[in-house]
Chain A
């Protein structure tokens, strides 16, 4: 693929998923995985899991996984194009809807749409977790780290970045 072709593909893919991402980036991760790993092969399954981990730990919005994948595919230009593509279409929509928000705020159909979309989003977030676990866990030790993080992040109030740090140390020691 030519450089311009790669940039166009990044823009198309991330702009496309950006307007489907009700409830955050995790609902469209299965789609990003399909396009970037399975179809375009910019990154491997393993790199997808790595970049997701980075996107959870870095300072910007989690959607910056687009920035990371864009850089892998096409360098700095890819990073900029992908960031713009994942952020600007929803921002434009938010700009337009903000002007009519007062009228639709309490309406029954708005509540129905929001209530109805939520279970679909939950299923998509589960699918993301499944894809990430398949990509990241190739040993019993890795499964144990995943299970420990699920417990820590679900059942306690401890900041999950501590789990990341501990898991990174175990990895540096060659456990996996």
Chain B
């Protein structure tokens, strides 16, 4: 996303900063990878379905080929002792990155409305992490309650 902002706004100047922020708001409201949503919406605004398809292809095809090649290397060499050792380290580090991400996302939410958010955060963690509920079930049970809480605060 950092690179998308850099190219679209600062280098090519296709979008003004506030247009980019608005587009990002839409993409964060929708499910799925933000960058995929961004490419689709922007492509559509230039040339309809063809524009959206072109933007998606441009975004996905080359990285998919690279990642598939990486996956093949992993399948071939992943069990070698040296590679196994490297992955033991990087996987432990990446798990830490996931926890740091949770912290970054949690901080503004908890600071702004602790009573409305903390019980929901803990419930979602227990349901999906400890009880291993499916994510769809967790969302189905907790999202309506959380949205009602948020709605009562807004109106």
A residues adjacent to B (C-beta < 8 A): 16-31, 34, 38, 46-47, 49-54, 56-64, 67-68, 71-72, 76, 79-80, 83, 86-91, 93-95, 97-99, 101, 105, 108-133, 135-137, 142-143, 145-150, 152-154, 160, 163-164, 166-176
Complex contacts, B56 vs chain A, CB 8 Å: 87-88, 91
The residue of chain B having its C-beta at the shortest distance from the C-beta of A99 within the complex is B44
Could you pull out 28 A-B pairs where Cβ atoms are within 8 angstroms?
A19-B32, A23-B28, A52-B95, A58-B66, A58-B67, A60-B64, A71-B68, A72-B71, A90-B30, A90-B37, A93-B31, A109-B151, A113-B150, A118-B109, A119-B124, A125-B102, A126-B106, A126-B121, A127-B128, A146-B92, A146-B96, A147-B96, A149-B96, A150-B96, A160-B100, A166-B93, A171-B85, A171-B90
Q: Are B100 and A153 in contact (CB under 8 A)?
A: yes
Q: Are A131 and B135 in contact (CB under 8 A)?
A: no
Complex contacts, B49 vs chain A, CB 8 Å: 95
Complex contacts, A18 vs chain B, CB 8 Å: 31-32
- Beyond contacts A60-B64, A98-B40, A132-B91: 10 other A-B pairs, Cβ-Cβ < 8 A, are A47-B78, A63-B33, A91-B52, A97-B30, A123-B125, A125-B102, A135-B91, A137-B95, A146-B92, A171-B86
Complex contacts, A170 vs chain B, CB 8 Å: 89
B22, B98, B154: the one within 8 Å of A125 (CB)? B98
Complex contacts, A172 vs chain B, CB 8 Å: 82, 85-86, 89
A-B contact count (CB 8 A): 359
B residues adjacent to A (C-beta < 8 A): 22, 25-37, 39-41, 44-45, 49, 52, 56, 60, 63-64, 66-68, 70-72, 74-75, 78, 82, 85-106, 109, 116-118, 120-125, 127-130, 132, 134-136, 138-139, 142-143, 146-151, 153-155
The residue of chain B having its C-beta at the shortest distance from the C-beta of A64 within the complex is B67
Complex contacts, A28 vs chain B, CB 8 Å: 135
User: Bound state CA distance, A118 and B153, in angstroms?
Assistant: 15
User: Bound state CA distance, A74 and B35, in angstroms?
Assistant: 26
Q: Are A111 and B74 in contact (CB under 8 A)?
A: no
Q: Are B90 and A89 in contact (CB under 8 A)?
A: no
Does more than half of chain B's interface fall in helix, strand or loop, or is it mixed?
A: helix
Q: Are A119 and B116 in contact (CB under 8 A)?
A: yes
The residue of chain B having its C-beta at the shortest distance from the C-beta of A134 within the complex is B95
| Contacts known (A68-B71, A126-B125, A167-B90); A145 close to B151, Cβ less than 8 A | no
Complex contacts, A175 vs chain B, CB 8 Å: 85, 89
| Contacts known (A47-B78, A154-B104, A167-B92); A31 close to B134, Cβ less than 8 A | yes
Q: Are A30 and B128 in contact (CB under 8 A)?
A: yes
User: What's the minimum C-beta distance from B11 to chain A, rounded to whole angstroms?
Assistant: 19
Complex contacts, A118 vs chain B, CB 8 Å: 105, 109, 117
